[in-house]
């Protein structure tokens, strides 16, 4: 039985966009010229490869389904109402592929690729004598990044953080871009009262410091709905869709706090485009205003939206870790690097030091944010060389 | 000038009223006083009487915008919006929900530790970043330039959490140079301040140096720089005497905008170093779900931001005579 979270749609949408753009890159057009521009730098190519790798892991982690509960004879269990019963765990394709890592848990901490546990325990030897020593691991030398406090594989936890990172980094911008385009073009194109009102709205919203607005929003909305982990019947509609997903709320509020910059940018660009000859000509022909805005303005500001999309990505991924650390990010049961750092925050003060949890989270995050930054710079240079001057 | 400043301040009022409306909607309409009472009392002691009691104790037992039970002006004034939300406009923050603390007093007390970290961090960061970016701009087009930018991008890609946890471990635990966390009064607070300041500066380098470099490079390609070179001035003199002054205009005005927000402190650093400033005040409020404090901080943050915008506009007119007061 498939389960689709609201945030899965974000991942699927991104994959669809990437495939579409890749498809367009063949043939002689705008996309292929940009691709040629990007291809020139080897660093950009490496970044694209890494980003694609992360995206495919995130996709594999977004395709999930629930198994039916089997009775000892191997038949499906049927409830009294005549419905088939499903396990509350919706395992993703990634969970199933890496099922070895997921289920091979130890008792407690163990160092990377160790054969013995990290903490001492009282062990009963064959002769009945008891000694305090490091017990052997159940699955020695298999944990690439060691295990955490409850014995879970750290590498697996870090891989599970990939989907959350990608969803946060893309979801917020995907949600806000249509609104930013709509309001920005309206404000710039129509001017007057409409412009005043829209400017007032975004100045007001942007004057509330982002973190505090996110705090307020998540305290109020984030505590209900699906928090990650087990799926209950009240989360589901139509038996497979989970609309009220905490991660989705987080994307939404991050979108609300970040749309104002893009809206302002688009308004300014529209003001310029409005005066160009071809727009004036369309006006002289008597083309309705809304159609001019849709046909002549919107296509010419789309590159701004794309640049903002890639520039915001790394900021959002970093913000997720901070917010989850503060306890207002993703739910505690959602695998994320912020949650890993939060649970491991005191491990460096242990003696001897437990470092692998933190290092794994930071390395995985860094390996996403650095390529994203490099890719964003390349995209910006390729799409709009003028922007290179204007700051970040 | 005075005329301009007054007009600019008047323009800020509708924005602050808008912020006030947003916070009122979020904290009183979406999250009703009933929800708050439920959260504060917990499941165990939850009875309708206890809820009403809690609400009247904290002044939440009124309708949100319109009170139909009252006559005359009471229709509007005897409401949560006027009693609880509007006073924020004249900085009357009221009492906290959890311990009945006077939030205004608490803010006055806690802003000093925040400022003790924020001001040195800010000053050192600006100096270091401008200096570094000028060096990179001086060596533009060379390996130093390209490696410098790469290092900036790498530093931007590292999470602030890593800077904090890593420095606490390295400087605090391994080298034992500074205490790992804590705070004191007077001069003895100094040793607690060094590490947070270092971290604040470190985490700002990547983004700022890259930004300042583009500002400098933009300035370097202008005509007056070419003239200065043609006069036979040395490259250093051209850059530091002529270039820096003009490049400072966008940089300074950018900086002025964040000045008022220094009051708020840094949520993360104050939390990690157990500094009793406004940042940790906010975090504690988040953890105990004290909405009165969160609401006050949201409003205070917006107020300081708007103040920053006004200061930016004024500083523009001060440093750049070409900009007229219109």
Delimiting residues of CATH 1.10.3720.10 domain(s) in chain A: 153-367
Alpha carbon of B290: minimum distance to chain A alpha carbons (Å): 10
On the question of pLDDT at B178 being above 60, the answer is: yes
CB contact A30 to B (< 8 Å): no
Q: With an 8 Å Cβ cutoff, are A325 and B158 in contact?
A: no
B19 and B67 assigned to the same domain: yes
Domain contains B96: no
Q: With an 8 Å Cβ cutoff, are A212 and B297 in contact?
A: yes
Q: What is the pLDDT of residue A386?
A: 60
B71 and B107 assigned to the same domain: no
Residue pLDDT, tens place only, A117-164 = 888 888 777 777 888 888 888 888 888 888 888 888 889 999 999 999
Mean per-residue pLDDT, B57-81: 73
CB contact B271 to A (< 8 Å): yes
Greater model confidence, B34 or A321: A321
Q: What is the pLDDT of residue A361?
A: 92
Greater model confidence, B43 or A382: A382
B82 and B199 assigned to the same domain: no
CB contact B154 to A (< 8 Å): yes
Greater model confidence, A230 or A183: A183
CB contact B199 to A (< 8 Å): no
Q: Give the residue among A392, A362, A16, A379 at the shortest CA–CA distance from A158.
A: A362
The percentage of chain A sitting over the pLDDT mark of 90, rounded to a whole number, equals 28
Contacts of B302 in chain A (CB under 8 A): 207-209
Nearest to B301 among A209, A338, A341 (CB): A209
CB contact B222 to A (< 8 Å): no
Q: State the best of A196, A216, A377 to mutate against chain B, taking most chain B CBs within 10 Å.
A: A216
Domain boundary (B90, B121, B142) is at B90
CATH classification of the domain holding B226: 1.10.3720.10
Q: With an 8 Å Cβ cutoff, are B153 and A322 in contact?
A: no
Domain boundary (B55, B90, B125) is at B90
B19 and B116 assigned to the same domain: no
CB contact B213 to A (< 8 Å): no
Q: What is the pLDDT of residue A143?
A: 83
On the question of pLDDT at A165 being above 80, the answer is: yes
Give residues 230 to 259 of A whose Cβ lies within 8 Å of B. none
B48 and B155 assigned to the same domain: no
B69 and B140 assigned to the same domain: no
CB contact B309 to A (< 8 Å): yes
Total tally of structural domains belonging to chain B: 2
Q: With an 8 Å Cβ cutoff, are B302 and A209 in contact?
A: yes
CB contact A46 to B (< 8 Å): no
Answer yes or no: are the C-beta atoms of A184 and A300 closer than 8 Å: no
A73-87, A123-137, A377-391, B139-153: range with highest mean pLDDT: B139-153
Contacts of A322 in chain B (CB under 8 A): 159-161, 268
B9 and B144 assigned to the same domain: no
User: In the CATH scheme, what is the code of domain A153-367?
Assistant: 1.10.3720.10
Query: Counting beta carbons within 10 angstroms of the beta carbon of residue B35, is it exposed (0 to 12), middle (13 to 18) or buried (19 or more)?
Result: middle
B107 and B84 assigned to the same domain: no
Residue pLDDT, tens place only, B242-251 = 888 888 887 8
Mean per-residue pLDDT, B205-233: 88
Q: With an 8 Å Cβ cutoff, are B156 and A314 in contact?
A: yes
Nearest to A325 among B161, B169, B264 (CB): B161
SS (H, E, C) chain B: CHHHHHHHHHHHHHHHHHHHHHHHHHHHHHCCHHHHHHHHHCCCCCCHHHHHHHHHHCCCCCCCCCCCCCCCCHHHHCCHHHHHHHHHHHCCCCECCCCCCEHHHHHHHHHHHHHHHHHHHHHHHHHHHHHHHHHHHHCCCCHHHHHHHHHHHHHHCCCHHHHHHHHHHHHHHHCCCCCCCCCCCHHHHHHHHHHHHHHHHHHHHHHHHHHHHHHHHHHHCCHHHHHHHHCCCCHHHHHHHHHHHHHHHHHHHHHHCCCHHHHHCCHHHHHHCCCCCHHHHHHHHHHCCCHHHHHHHHHHHHHHHHHHHHHHHHHHHHHCCCCCCC
Q: State the best of A43, A168, A219 to mutate against chain B, taking most chain B CBs within 10 Å.
A: A219
Give residues 356 to 385 of A whose Cβ lies within 8 Å of B. 358, 362, 365-366, 369-370, 372-374, 377
Alpha carbon of A153: minimum distance to chain B alpha carbons (Å): 21
- Domain holding B77, by residue range, is 2-90
Q: State the best of A196, A208, A338, A366 to mutate against chain B, taking most chain B CBs within 10 Å.
A: A208
SS (H, E, C) chain A: CEEEEHHHHHHHHHHHHHHHHHHHHCCCCHHHHHHHHHHCCHHHHHHHHHHHHHHHHHHHCCCEEEEECECCCCCECECCCCCECEEEEEEEHHHHHCHHHHHCCCCCCECCCCCECCCCEEEECCCCCEEEECCECCCCCCCCCCECCCCCEHHHHHHHHHHHHHHHHHHHHHHHHHHHHHHHHHHHHHCHHHHHHHHHHHHHHHHCCHHHHHHHHHHHHCCCCECCCCCCHHHCECCCEECCEHHHHHHHHHHHHHHHHHHHHHHHHHHHHHCCHHHHHHHHCCCCHHHHHHHHHHHHHHHHHHHHHHHHHHHHHHHHHHHHHHCCCCCCCCCCHHHHHHHCCCHHHCCCCCCHHHHHHHHHHHHHHHHHHHHHHHHHHHHCHHHHCCCC
Domain contains B326: no
On the question of pLDDT at A387 being above 60, the answer is: no
CB contact A314 to B (< 8 Å): yes
Q: What is the pLDDT of residue B324?
A: 61
Contacts of A388 in chain B (CB under 8 A): 214
User: What ipTM did this prediction achieve?
Assistant: 0.84
pTM over 0.80: yes
Alpha carbon of B14: minimum distance to chain A alpha carbons (Å): 9
CB contact A322 to B (< 8 Å): yes
CB contact B11 to A (< 8 Å): no
Q: With an 8 Å Cβ cutoff, are A322 and B160 in contact?
A: yes
Domain contains B251: yes
Contacts of A338 in chain B (CB under 8 A): 161
- What separation in angstroms does the CA of A238 have from each of A4, A66, A84? 11, 14, 14
Among B104-108, B134-138, B175-179, whose mean pLDDT is lowest? B175-179
Domain contains B268: yes
Q: With an 8 Å Cβ cutoff, are A349 and B214 in contact?
A: no
Mean per-residue pLDDT, B31-53: 76
Mean per-residue pLDDT, B272-277: 87
Q: What is the pLDDT of residue A180?
A: 93
Residue pLDDT, tens place only, A75-108 = 777 777 777 777 778 888 888 888 888 888 888 8
B249 and B112 assigned to the same domain: yes
Q: With an 8 Å Cβ cutoff, are B283 and A326 in contact?
A: yes
B152 and B68 assigned to the same domain: no
Q: With an 8 Å Cβ cutoff, are B261 and A321 in contact?
A: no
On the question of pLDDT at B63 being above 50, the answer is: yes
B18 and B109 assigned to the same domain: no
Domain contains B324: no
Alpha-carbon distance of A154 to B259, in angstroms, equals 41
On the question of pLDDT at B18 being above 60, the answer is: yes
Residue of chain B whose Cα is closest to the Cα of A205? B19
Domain contains B6: yes
B188 and B82 assigned to the same domain: no
> Tokens standing for A79?
């409830």
Domain contains B97: no
């Amino acid at each position: 039985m498939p389960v689709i979270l609201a945030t899965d749609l974000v991942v699927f949408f991104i994959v669809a966009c990437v495939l579409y753009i890749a498809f367009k890159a063949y043939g002689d057009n705008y996309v292929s010229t940009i691709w040629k521009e990007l291809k020139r730098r080897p660093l950009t190519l490496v970044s694209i490869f890494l980003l694609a790798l992360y995206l495919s892991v995130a996709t594999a982690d977004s395709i999930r389904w629930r198994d039916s509960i089997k009775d000892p004879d191997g038949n499906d269990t049927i409830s009294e109402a005549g419905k088939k019963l499903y396990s509350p765990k919706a395992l993703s394709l990634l969970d199933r592929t890496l099922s070895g890592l997921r289920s091979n848990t130890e008792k407690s901490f163990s160092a990377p690729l160790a054969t013995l546990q990290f903490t001492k325990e009282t062990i009963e030897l064959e002769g009945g004598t008891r000694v305090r020593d490091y017990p052997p691991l159940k699955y020695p030398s298999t944990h690439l990044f060691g295990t955490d406090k409850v014995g879970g594989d750290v590498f697996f936890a870090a891989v599970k953080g990939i989907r959350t990172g990608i969803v946060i980094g893309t979801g917020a911008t995907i949600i806000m871009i249509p609104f930013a385009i709509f309001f920005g073009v309206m404000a710039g194109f129509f001017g007057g009262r409409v412009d005043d009102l829209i400017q007032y709205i975004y100045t007001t919203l942007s004057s509330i410091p982002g973190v505090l607005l996110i705090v307020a929003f998540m305290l109020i909305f984030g505590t209900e709905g699906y928090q990650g982990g087990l799926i209950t019947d009240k989360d589901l509609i139509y038996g497979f869709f989970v609309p009220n997903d905490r991660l989705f709320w987080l994307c939404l509020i991050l979108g609300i706090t970040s749309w104002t910059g893009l809206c302002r940018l688009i308004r300014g660009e529209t003001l310029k485009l409005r005066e160009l000859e071809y727009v004036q000509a369309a006006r002289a022909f008597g083309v309705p205003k809304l159609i001019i805005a849709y046909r002549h303005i919107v296509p010419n500001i789309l590159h701004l939206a794309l640049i903002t999309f890639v520039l915001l990505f790394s900021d959002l991924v970093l913000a997720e870790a901070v917010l989850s650390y503060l306890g207002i990010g993703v739910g505690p049961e959602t695998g994320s690097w912020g949650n890993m750092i939060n649970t491991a925050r005191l491990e460096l003060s242990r003696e001897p030091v437990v470092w692998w949890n933190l290092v794994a989270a930071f390395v995985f995050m860094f390996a996403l944010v650095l390529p994203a930054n490099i890719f964003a710079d390349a995209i910006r240079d390729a799409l709009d060389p003028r922007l290179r001057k204007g700051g970040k | 000038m005075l005329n301009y400043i007054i007009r600019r301040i008047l323009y800020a009022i509708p924005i602050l009223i808008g912020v006030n409306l947003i916070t009122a909607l979020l904290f009183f309409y979406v999250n009703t006083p009933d929800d708050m009472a439920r959260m504060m009392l917990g499941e165990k002691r939850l009875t309708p009487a206890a809820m009403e009691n809690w609400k009247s104790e904290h002044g939440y037992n009124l309708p949100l915008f319109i009170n139909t039970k009252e006559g005359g002006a009471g229709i509007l004034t005897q409401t949560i919006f006027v009693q609880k939300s509007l006073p924020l406009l004249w900085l009357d923050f009221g009492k906290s929900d959890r311990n009945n603390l006077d939030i205004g007093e608490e803010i006055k007390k806690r802003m000093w530790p925040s400022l003790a970290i924020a001001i040195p961090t800010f000053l050192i960061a600006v100096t270091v970043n401008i200096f570094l970016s000028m060096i990179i701009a001086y060596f533009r087009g060379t390996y130093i330039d390209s490696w410098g930018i790469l290092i900036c991008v790498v530093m931007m890609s590292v999470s602030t959490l890593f800077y904090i946890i890593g420095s606490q471990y390295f400087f605090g635990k391994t080298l034992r140079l500074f205490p790992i966390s804590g705070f004191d009064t007077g001069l003895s607070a100094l040793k607690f301040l060094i590490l947070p300041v270092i971290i604040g500066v470190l985490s700002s380098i990547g983004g700022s140096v890259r930004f300042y470099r583009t500002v400098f490079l933009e300035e370097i390609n202008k005509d007056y720089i070419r003239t200065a070179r043609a006069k036979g001035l040395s490259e250093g003199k051209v850059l530091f005497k002529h270039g820096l002054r003009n490049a400072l205009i966008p940089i300074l005005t950018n900086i002025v905008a964040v000045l008022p927000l220094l009051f708020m402190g840094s949520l993360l650093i104050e939390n990690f170093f157990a500094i009793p400033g406004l940042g940790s005040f906010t975090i504690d409020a988040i953890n105990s779900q004290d909405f009165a404090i969160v609401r006050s901080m949201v409003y205070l943050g917006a107020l300081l931001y708007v103040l920053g915008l006004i200061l930016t506009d004024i500083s523009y007119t001060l440093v750049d005579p070409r900009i007229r007061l219109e």
